[in-house]
Amino acid sequence: MGKLVYDFIEGNKDLKDLLGGKGANLAEMTNLGLPVPPGFTITTEACRHYLRHGTLPEGLAAEVDEHLARLERAMGRTLGDPADPLLVSVRSGAKFSMPGMMETVLNIGLSDASVHGLAAQAGNERFAWDSYRRLIQMFGKTVLGIGGHEVERAIDEAKRAKGTASDLDLDAGDLRALTETFKSIVRAATGREFPQQPREQLDMAIRAVFDSWNAERAILYRRQERIPGDLGTAVSVVAMVFGNLGPDSGTGVAFTRDPSTGHQGIYGDYLQNAQGEDVVAGIRNTVPLQDLERIDPRSYAELLAIMKTLENHYQDLCDIEFTIERGKLWMLQTRVGKRTAAAAFRIAVQLADQGLIDMDEALRRVTGEQLAQLMFPRFGATEAATTITTAISASPGAAVGRAVFDSATAAQWAERGEHVILVRRETNPDDLPGMIAAQGILTSRGGKTSHAAVVARGMGKTCVCGAEQLDVDVAARRFTAAGSGPGSQITVREGDVISIDGTSGAVYLGEVPVVASPVVEYFEGKLDPASDELVTAVHRIMTHADARRRLGVQANADTGEDAARAVRFGAEGIGLTRTEHMFLGERRQLVERLILAEDDAGRQAALAELEPLQRGDFVEILAAMDGMPVTIRLLDPPLHEFLPDLTELSVKVALAGAGATERDRRLLEAVRRLHEQNPMLGLRGVRLGLVIPGLFAMQVRAIARAAADRVKAGGNPHPEIMIPLVGAVQELEIAREEAEKVLAQVAAETGVDLHVPIGTMIEVPRAALTAGQIAQAAEFFSLGTNDLTQMGWGFSRDDVEGAFFGRYIEMGIFGVSPFETLDAEGVGRLVRIAVDEGRAARPGLTIGVCGEHGGDPESVRFFHGAGLDYVSCSPFRVPVARLEAGRAVVLESAGGSDSR
């Protein structure tokens, strides 16, 4: 194994794979000459070795010794020296930001002996004991696995005894006594004294940070954010600088732009006389960063200059953590900041306008998931709503749900279908399951840089923070707030409905109605792009995406209304019209007559009644998509889906006895005859068309006559006929021969020259594997990835998603449902085979996809790489597909990876 430890002066921002984001960026800031405390980083390779083998890699201890000695020389102090101690922090840092999900330990090196040396060094006994109790508190939870409740209870008791609600009112004696209490808690929980040897503390902390990579909350976060589980974390060991030395010290978090809106300005939080974890944890309410100008003008000016340097250097929004130690500014971290969807679009366009990036890079920096978030509804009129309070708008959106007061309840209620709002004093990383389950998050403490705010923005969750007017009583499962009248009070109990507005920070009692997003109104053509700043940004990026993309984007639509909406959203055709949807409602009776027909005459009569209805449907869709292709899939599902349920009908007939109607008896007989153990693999698709004479012919005739009607009306129809569930070329050849005869007959009848391409869905694995044969009889392929996934995995979608997919995702068998994002390794290989062999047999063969994957961002990028001509998805997902099709091109040109 190679080099395992790097000094900050040896790294740079491009070594994130090796040094993690934190270590790489600390090195980068050091190289830029910014004030960074000296330190070193242990690589992710060391972590991966430790996680695989359970032991630290050979040679790591010696490298740590060497770099620690170098750090001690630079600082002029020795780790844990009783007279003049060097203290260090031990911090996690993976390649991808995972805020709060892994561990950090501050003040390593303090002991019963060195605490006195620290007091003398700082001239501040209170500060020394405050630092020591913080070490034992963090070390106990992080390294020794001691729950935090006893420690928090001890702090509360100390404050109560002092008659105060603030930690700052505890003096040196109080904190010394608290430290002894913490040590007794460690002794009782572990059977040993708190470690007094500084190097033992350091080694144990390093192992704990490595172990935290596989902590439950870290695993859950990686699944949520689709971060690979085999990357591991680096560990940065940094000389401590102290923000808790008094009023001339403090700690803060700054953003170079507002991560919630994207607006330019000074954004962040500052906390006097505190250590860094206090800000992120939200345990004390901060002041706005602008207040630092009044508190410490010199440090404020230096911070603004550094913020400008970092944004210009990284060419992006930067998230910065800093500490001021007795008027001296130190930079503890920077990273490209997490942001909301609205901020992502605004910032990308702003940076392009400033000349820091080009529009290709702007396109790389937004995602289809973010665009989808912007299309969600927002609150409408709120004048009639009861406002409980207005607090900090931490992550935008409109969320309505029942108030719940802990993570477990949020997850349980959401599992049973309830919409919930997670209400906490402040969140911590253990609340992640509830945060994922909730529609929104409301906290009474913390600001825009608190744990709740940072994680919510990353997940696209609505969040309101710092609602100080709320008295959140988790034990009593309620919160209270002052009412509008003198002495009045609003009480919200668990289960009561509240609404939170992450854009304005308002919290409402009850349910507030929502209205369409302005982004949707823009796509609908109801809003001028220039009328709204966010819409302008979306418009500019979508225009660039459309100019860059190679993939066409079509829509799945079954009605003229759906088709018209798809066109407004930018669809260039219909990739899938499902004709079975036209047999529902009142038309079911005609399908029943078809099924119950006892001879060809009865069957043809039923088909004759169905044909003009289908023809009318097709005329409507072809009119809406005039001049664009419309791919119409012939009947796909088994006929039993149009009949009553077997069990219900059996009970009905049995209860009626001799009084059962003849129709019900005949229906029951037909249902029993058509009943299949596994209907999705039974008589459906092309098999149905070959077995029931005249069924497909009726549909083809309706399509052809609808096209002729549109031509005579001056239209320019482009229908395409798609034959489903083909597994053998012979099936397609027979169905195609029948369809061509019908098309010729209608052309002769109407005098309209019809060119209607005939193709097939590739949705059976055998079809993908014999695509070269099938292409000889098909003018186009449309990949039906829903069925291809079902049959490729051997999954029955209706059963497996609820039965065990959740457990499979927990176990890491797959990171996301293969019905949501295409399985690139398995099903994706079938797709590539179908594309390669199909085009080898028929050069220029048009190939698209019409499964739900056609609107999934990651899958769209796969289809681009596989060489498809178009994707087709629901109308609402068309803008997402357009954006991702453009991103696929610019990501490919940048080497295939997202710039984020």
Cβ atoms of 454 and 280 within 8 Å: the answer is: yes
Hey, what amino acid is at 164? Answer: T
Which residues are CB-contacts of 146 (< 8 A; sequence separation ≥ 6)?
140, 185, 186, 189, 190
pLDDT digits (tens, 9 = 90+) for 853-896: 999 999 999 999 999 999 999 888 899 999 999 999 999 988 76
Rounded CA separation 639/758 (Å): 23
CB atoms within 10 A of CB 8: 25
The DSSP 8-state label assigned to residue 512 in this structure reads P
The DSSP 8-state label assigned to residue 273 in this structure reads T
Identify which of 638, 632, 639 has the alpha carbon closest to the alpha carbon of residue 702.
Answer: 632
What tokens does 678 get? 């596994």
Which pLDDT value is given to residue 897? 54
Tell me what the mean pLDDT of segment 362-374 comes to.
93
Percent of residues, the chain, with pLDDT higher than 70? 97
Catalytic residue among 47, 318, 850, 873: 850
Q: Is 294 helix (H, G, I), strand (E, B) or coil?
A: helix
pLDDT digits (tens, 9 = 90+) for 91-130: 999 999 888 889 899 999 999 999 999 999 999 999 999 9
Rounded CA separation 449/391 (Å): 14
pLDDT digits (tens, 9 = 90+) for 317-347: 999 999 999 999 999 999 999 898 999 999 9
pLDDT class for 603, splitting at 50, 70, 90? Answer: confident
Phi, psi of 497 (to 5 degrees): -85, 130
Cβ atoms of 266 and 318 within 8 Å: the answer is: no
Cβ atoms of 574 and 555 within 8 Å: the answer is: yes
Cβ atoms of 455 and 433 within 8 Å: the answer is: no
Residue 500: which H helix or E strand, with range? Answer: strand 497-501
pLDDT digits (tens, 9 = 90+) for 700-726: 999 999 999 999 999 999 999 999 999
Which residues are CB-contacts of 167 (< 8 A; sequence separation ≥ 6)?
155, 159, 284
Rounded CA separation 642/647 (Å): 15
Q: Is 699 helix (H, G, I), strand (E, B) or coil?
A: helix
Phi, psi of 759 (to 5 degrees): -135, -165
Tell me what the mean pLDDT of segment 563-567 comes to.
91
Buried b (16+ CB within 10 A) or exposed e, 769-808: bbbbbbbebbbbbbbbbebbbbbbbebebeebeeeebeeb
Identify which of 730, 778, 744, 760 has the alpha carbon closest to the alpha carbon of residue 634.
Answer: 760
Cβ atoms of 888 and 861 within 8 Å: the answer is: yes
Catalytic residue among 47, 49, 318, 451: 451
Rounded CA separation 106/134 (Å): 8
What tokens does 56 get? 């630290």
User: Is 544 labeled as catalytic in the residue annotation?
Assistant: no
Which pLDDT value is given to residue 281? 61
pLDDT tops 50 at residue 900: no
Rounded CA separation 99/567 (Å): 41
pLDDT tops 90 at residue 387: yes
Rounded CA separation 439/413 (Å): 12
Query: End-to-end alpha-carbon separation of the chain, Å?
Result: 29
Q: Is 600 exposed, middle or buried (0-12, 13-18, 19+ CB in 10 A)?
A: exposed
The mean pLDDT value of the chain amounts to 91
Handedness of CA 246, 252, 256, 261 (dihedral sign): negative
Rounded CA separation 372/880 (Å): 7
Rounded CA separation 705/724 (Å): 21
pLDDT tops 90 at residue 602: no
Identify which of 370, 377, 365, 367 has the alpha carbon closest to the alpha carbon of residue 341.
Answer: 370
Report the half-sphere exposure of 540 (CA within 13 A, side-chain side).
20
User: Is 873 labeled as catalytic in the residue annotation?
Assistant: no
Sheet holding 318-325, edge to edge: 287-288, 264-272, 250-257, 318-325, 328-336
Rounded CA separation 838/829 (Å): 14
What tokens does 340 get? 């909301």
pLDDT tops 60 at residue 10: yes
Q: From the CA atom positions of the chain, what is the Rg in Å?
A: 32
CB atoms within 10 A of CB 84: 14
Rounded CA separation 110/124 (Å): 15
Which residues are CB-contacts of 160 (< 8 A; sequence separation ≥ 6)?
none
Hey, what amino acid is at 186? Answer: V
Question: Among 599-613, 722-736, 821-835, whose mean pLDDT is lowest?
Answer: 599-613
pLDDT digits (tens, 9 = 90+) for 612-664: 999 999 999 999 999 999 999 999 987 777 777 778 888 888 888 888 888 88
Rounded CA separation 176/180 (Å): 6
Tell me what the mean pLDDT of segment 187-194 comes to.
94
What tokens does 119 get? 């007091």
Residue 400: beta bridge partners?
A: 499
